A and B are shown apart, each in its own frame.
Chain A
Amino acid sequence: MELTERSGRLPRRLQRITGENVMLCYQCRKCTLGCPSAYAMRLKPHELMRALQLGLEDQVLWSGTMWICLSCETCNTRCPQDINIVSLIDGLRTYYFDWEYYNPVRELPMMHRLFLKLVRRFGRVYELGLVLILNLKMLNPLKDIDLALPMFLRGKLKLFPHRSEGVKELRTVMSRLEAMEDER
């Protein structure tokens, strides 16, 4: 079903990005009841759906719900209307990625940006580098320091990054995708 002019800007924009129709939600709350991180959300999943239907962009942003979602796919599996809620949330994340001022959990987009930057550099995740830089950026340099020694002693923490031979191809593909996204 295509959304019409009457259904408002936000639902239509989301349908364009993700192909999902928020208007199908009838508030049964199955998503919220199964959601493992709902307790930490200011807007629970079903409330997020309602806010999206009503086009309450400010509340959607201020709630930070899109960033607290763990992408565990429970809501998707159980939704009686077969709405792909995770895909909707990914659509929101992509669209509002840089709206930092409105984001109560800024460390999440910060983490994603850093993660991809390191992968672009090495082709693979450099776990230690990711943790160290992220902790500094979150102004919490000693976060999880108690885990470092036991992991290091068991050979689970590699000090230096491993570079994949596929990284050149990955960089080419990433640049081409960025060029394609700029075209639009």
Chain B
Amino acid sequence: MRYAYFPGCSLGATASDYDLSLRAVCRALDIELVEVRDWVCCGASSAHATSHLLSIAMPVLSLSHAEADGFERLIAPCLACLSRFKAANREMQEDPTVREKIHRAFDYQYRATVKVYHPLEVMMEEGMVGKIRSRVRKKLSGLKVACYYGCVLTRPPKVAQFDICEDPQSMDSVIRALGGESLDWSYKTECCGVSMTLTRSDIVLKLSSDILRAAKELGADAIAVCCPLCQANLDSRQIQIEEKYGVHYGIPIIYFTQLMGLAFGAFPRELGLEKLITSPRTALEVCGLM
């Protein structure tokens, strides 16, 4: 299957490991990724705080490139991009006033025919879990994983239209297909606070600390994530959190694609595992994965 690929700004820099591992996993599963031509930033949380039309126009620009190049499906691995894209598509389909204004601003008339997917949505397509299971060479036996989905993968359900809103299961079923143990917990969709990471870090530290504490109490070896922004908060800021709250967590925050790649037999370096700030070595060595 061929998909347009919108990496988003994070995957070029702070989340280059997510990019590496996603590409490796897609190769292994015969999913072809073609980067969207001349894509631009989705506008994330800044565009919708300043102008509603701009928050639609920025995703539409990249989506229209994918549409003009003949793609019907697009993968966006970052939750901020994903939710902006889904919201833009929905408004373009349902709100004639917005559509008319956006069409006036663009030379190309976007028809909202490009369906937007998160990598997890692709993994949940029919027959994919079986395919994942068949590619596993090294099982994640004994690895206890807390799956953390982040805020807007399933919210709001009207726009996201994926998984069970308050208790998602998709990443858990991927981890189970890899032979790992996925833990049940109540912080799956709690917000990590990323939209204030540069301004009010105090809020971010509290929210991320709550998530880490819950995972620690659960006895998790690692937290699996599916968004570069959650990863950056929980991983890079873990030292600051430990310092502020006087506790030691040491929980590695691993992209679910990195875990998939490991189980498929890829080398840790191919998946960017050495780029994680909280080292996953101890957790993965116990299960013989590293």
Contacts and interface: CB of A to CB of B under 8 A. Distances in A.
A153 to B, nearest CB: 10
Interface string A155-184: 111100010111101100110110011000
A181 B56 CA distance: 14
B49 to A, nearest CB: 4
Contacts of B275: 154-156
B9 A127 contact: yes
A107 interface: yes
Which A-B residue pairs are the 9 nearest by beta carbons? A166-B38, A72-B191, A125-B9, A72-B151, A73-B155, A115-B46, A112-B46, A165-B38, A176-B105
Nearest to A130: B198
A144 B197 CA distance: 10
A42 interface: no
Contacts of B276: 154
17 contacts: A36-B207, A72-B152, A72-B191, A94-B50, A111-B46, A112-B46, A119-B40, A125-B9, A125-B10, A131-B198, A144-B201, A155-B275, A156-B275, A162-B12, A170-B40, A173-B61, A173-B105
Contact of A177 (B9, B51, B190, B274): B51
Contact of A90 (B43, B48, B239, B274): B48
Interface string A32-44: 0000110110000
B199 A138 contact: yes
Contacts of A174: 54, 57
Contacts of A76: 155-156
A7 B277 CA distance: 54
B165 A147 contact: no
Residue in B48, B193, B274 whose Cβ sees the most chain A Cβ within 10 Å: B48
Contacts of B45: 71, 112
B52 A70 contact: no
Given A127-B13, A147-B236, A156-B275, A181 B195 contact: no
Given A74-B151, A108-B199, A166-B39, 5 more contacts: A71-B45, A112-B46, A156-B14, A162-B12, A176-B104
A141 interface: no
Nearest to A168: B38
Residue in B10, B43, B156, B194 whose Cβ sees the most chain A Cβ within 10 Å: B156
Contacts of A157: 13-14
Contacts of A181: 51, 53
A74 B193 contact: no
Given A71-B195, A73-B151, A90-B52, A156 B16 contact: yes
Nearest to A18: B52
B186 interface: no
A93 B50 contact: yes
A105 B165 CA distance: 31
Contacts of A155: 16, 275
B13 A107 contact: no
B128 to A, nearest CB: 27
A38 to B, nearest CB: 11
